[in-house]
Amino acid sequence: MRMVFRAGTAVPFKFYDLGREESTGLTIHPLIFMDMLTVRKYSNEVDSRTELDTITNAIKENGGLLNTTWHPEVLIGFDVPQASDGLLDYCLETYSHVTPE
């Protein structure tokens, strides 16, 4: 498994209608980070945090936005790998104040 920018970018963009060959009014905010992919990839919280930091630094360098998805299992700590311990708190403490420049 490797982390990638699924839409190829971390910057919001207008949805393009291929049938009409035109941009629409719908703005897409790409998903950048999904908790379960990270906690399944790494066996400890330190490596999960390092991956999040790496992704976030790439986003900052390119003026993007960090859009995340958190599953209920991770939020309540139910039957998830140790790598998820404190990851959400770390994300909120470290990145919730960061705004695009």
| pLDDT for the residue 48 | 81
> Which has more confidence, 29 or 38?
29
In a domain, 25, yes or no: no
Output the pTM of the full model. 0.67
Containing structural domain, residue 69:
30-95
Nearest to 61 by CA among 1, 6, 5, 2: 5
Number of domains in the chain: 1
| pLDDT tens sequence across 35-91 | 777 777 777 778 888 888 888 888 888 888 888 888 887 777 666 666 566 777 788
Q: Report residue 1's pLDDT band, with 50, 70 and 90 as the boundaries.
A: very low
Report the alpha-carbon distance of residue 48 to residue 46 in Å, rounded.
5
Are 54 and 95 in contact, with CB atoms under 8 Å apart? no
Query: Does 15 have pLDDT greater than 80?
Result: yes
- Is residue 3 in a domain? no
Residue at 86 is within a domain: yes
38, part of any domain: yes
Determine, yes or no, domain membership for 67.
Answer: yes
